[in-house]
Amino acid sequence: MAKNYVSNKDETVRMFKNDFMEALSKVHWTVPLFVYVPVVAYALYISLFKFNIQIGEVAVLFFGGLFFWTFSEYMLHKYLFHFPAKSEFGKKITFIFHGVHHDYPNDSKRLVMPPSASIPLAVIFFIIFRLVFGSVLVYPFFGGFIVGYLFYDITHYAIHHFNMHSKFWLAIKNHHMLHHYQDPKLGFGVSSPLWDKILGTAFEEKKQTN
C-alpha cells in the first residue's frame, strides 16, 4: 500500500498554539460512551414513559435513526471531512477536522470525535430532526441516530487499535484501510460499506485484502 501518511505510530502533531484548544482536540476513545449513552437512555425513557409512544413505533423510529446515521456518516466523511478546500484557511480547517487523522492514522487520542465537535453537531441534527418529526417522535429517532454514531466512533477506534479475527470485522477494517492507504477518494463508510456500494465509491472486490 502507498505511504499516504506522515506516521503510523501512536503519535500526533500539535494543531493549536493554545493549550486549552489543543486539549479539546484530543479524547480517550471511551469518552463518547460516557457522554452519549445517557442521552440515548433518556431519549428512550421519555419516549416510552413520558410520551407513552407504543414500543413498536419506538423500535421503528429508533432503527430508522440508526439507519439514517449510516447515510449521514458517509455524507459527512465524503463532503465535510474531505472537502476540497482551496484557500489556506480552508485547508487548515479540513486538516483540523480530518486531515490530521490521515497524516497520523493511529493517533489514539484523535480517533473518536471530541465532544467539542460532536456536541454541536448533535444539537444541529436534533434541531433538524425535531422540525421533521415533531417534539415527541424526535426522541426515539434521535436515540437510534446517536447509537449509530457511537457504533461508528468505537468501530473507528477498533479498526486502528484492536486485533480483529472474524470475517465481518476484517472486511470492515480492510475497507477502511484501503481508504487510508490506497485511495482516500473511495471508501467513505467506516462502520459499513453499504453507501459506498450504493453510491459507487466502493473498492473493487479484487482489491480487497485479507
* pLDDT per position as a tens digit, 103-155: 898 988 989 999 999 999 999 999 999 999 999 999 999 999 999 999 999 99
Residue 129 falls within a domain, yes or no? yes
Q: Are 57 and 138 in contact (CB under 8 A)?
A: no
Look at residue 79 in the predicted model and tell me its pLDDT: 93
CB-count exposure of residue 134 (10 Å: 0-12, 13-18, 19+): exposed
* Mean pLDDT (whole number) for 21-36: 92
Q: Give the helix/strand (H/E) hosting 71.
A: helix 55-75
Q: Tell me whether residue 7 is in a domain.
A: no
In a domain, 210, yes or no: no
Question: pLDDT confidence of 209, banded at 50, 70, 90?
Answer: very low
Q: Is the pLDDT of residue 60 over 90?
A: yes
- Residue 89 domain-assigned? yes
Q: Is residue 54 part of a domain?
A: yes
Q: Is residue 140 part of a domain?
A: yes
Average pLDDT, the chain: 91
Is 197 contained in some domain?
A: no
> Domain span at residue 115?
29-168
Report the pLDDT averaged over residues 86-91: 86
Residue 161 falls inside a structural domain: yes
Considering its fold, how many domains does the chain have in total?
1
- Residues 106 and 85: their CA atoms lie apart, in Å, by 24
